[in-house]
């Protein structure tokens, strides 16, 4: 499946008009079914669907580890295509009155990872404070932003049309970078990659290409990622949640300039 397409557009520059084909990031729905029942529809960029479904199940509270997932795979949609529906079979699936809020009431849009969750309070039931976690040098965070940018092929091709999340070790060494039109999808993809490859997120640092919003902190805490940095700023709700959960947040990362919002002891200056 293509991650971008070229479509005709009119380009206005300095008063001149030209017709050109512009590369656009692909946006398609992905239905995630859990044990045969529809759970959510997320709008995503095609690619790494199993990682996305795996990470989504962890950050939603459907599973607590990769060992809770018995199998994953594509299944046909109403047209018979095997590309936009993923079936996840899990053991001991939580009931609606337990940890999980139950199936999403709405689709999850590309801009928001929490659309359709019935009650905000349900999210807190699946979160537990972080302890320990890695320490990373501020200079290594600076290096990470350049290393991530080198791997953002879709971002360059679509001229800024995709977000990215990088997962790195405590020395700033990049483990994986995933791109998607949604920041939350990119986060689920790197978390899913870690789960499927036996990578301990408790030893990792996450770097986000956009802002740090509430759902990004929520996903990091569920995955036990104790240090989250971003090129852009954090929201007030994200900072409040990170403070309560013991998560280190750093934002507005520009070269050697950054703002550390919470738990600064993990970033060595």
Domains of the chain, residue spans: 28-124, 136-268
The answer regarding whether domain 136-268 maps to CATH 3.40.140.10 reads yes
112 catalytic? Reply is: yes
Lowest-pLDDT choice from 101-110, 151-160, 209-218:
101-110
CATH architecture of 28-124: Roll (3.10)
Which has the minimum average pLDDT: 63-77, 99-113, 171-185, 248-262? 99-113
Residues 6+ apart with CB under 8 A from 188: 51, 52, 54, 55, 56, 59, 113, 219
Token pair listed for 74: 């594509």
Burial of 74 (0-12, 13-18, 19+ CB in 10 A): middle
Q: How far is CA 254 from CA 43, 60, 184, 224, 267, in A?
A: 30, 31, 22, 26, 15
Report long-range pairs for 240-243 (Cβ below 8 Å, ≥24 apart): 241/127, 241/214, 241/217, 242/217
d(CA 263, CA 101): 29
Distance between CA atoms of residues 80 and 82, nearest Å: 6
Higher pLDDT: 118 or 249? It is: 249
Tell me what percent of the residues of the chain surpass a pLDDT of 70: 88
Rounded to whole angstroms, the Cα distance separating 108 from 5 reads 23
> 28-124 and 136-268 share one CATH topology?
no
- Residues 109-168: tens digit of each pLDDT: 555 655 544 445 555 567 899 999 999 999 999 999 999 999 999 999 999 999 999 999
Is 69 a residue whose pLDDT tops 50? yes
φ, ψ of residue 168 to 5 degrees: the values are: -135, 165
Q: What is the mean pLDDT of residues 22-33?
A: 95
* Pairwise CA distance, residues 134 & 29, whole Å: 36
Q: Give the pLDDT score at 94.
A: 57
Query: Which one of the listed residues 54, 57, 112, 201 is annotated catalytic?
Result: 112
Confidence of residue 106 (pLDDT cuts 50, 70, 90): very low
In this model, does residue 108 exceed pLDDT 90?
Answer: no
Average confidence (pLDDT) over 69-95 = 87
């Amino acid at each position: 499946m293509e991650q971008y397409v070229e479509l005709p557009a009119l380009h206005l520059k300095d008063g001149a008009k030209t017709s050109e084909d512009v590369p656009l990031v692909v946006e398609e729905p992905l239905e995630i079914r859990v044990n045969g029942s529809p759970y959510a529809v997320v709008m995503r960029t095609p690619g790494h669907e199993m990682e996305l479904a795996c990470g989504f199940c962890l950050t939603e509270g459907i599973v607590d580890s990769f060992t809770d997932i018995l199998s994953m795979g594509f299944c046909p949609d109403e047209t018979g295509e095997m590309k936009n529906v993923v079936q996840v079979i899990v053991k001991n699936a939580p009931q609606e009155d337990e940890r999980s809020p139950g199936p999403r009431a709405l689709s999850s849009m590309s801009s928001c990872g929490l659309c359709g969750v019935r009650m905000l309070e349900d999210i807190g039931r699946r979160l537990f404070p972080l302890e320990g976690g890695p320490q990373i040098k501020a200079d290594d965070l600076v290096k990470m932003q350049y290393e991530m940018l080198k791997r953002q092929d879709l971002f360059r091709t679509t001229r800024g049309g995709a977000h990215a999340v990088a997962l790195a070790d405590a020395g700033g060494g990049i483990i994986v970078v995933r791109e998607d039109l949604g920041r939350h999808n990119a986060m689920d993809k790197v978390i899913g990659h870690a789960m499927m490859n036996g990578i301990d997120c408790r030893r990792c640092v996450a770097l986000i290409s956009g802002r740090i919003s509430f759902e990004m902190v929520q996903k990091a805490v569920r995955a036990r990622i104790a240090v989250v940095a971003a090129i852009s700023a954090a929201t007030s709700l994200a900072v409040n949640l990170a403070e309560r959960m013991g998560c280190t947040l750093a934002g507005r990362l520009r070269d050697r300039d950054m703002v550390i919002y919470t738990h600064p002891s993990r970033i060595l200056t």
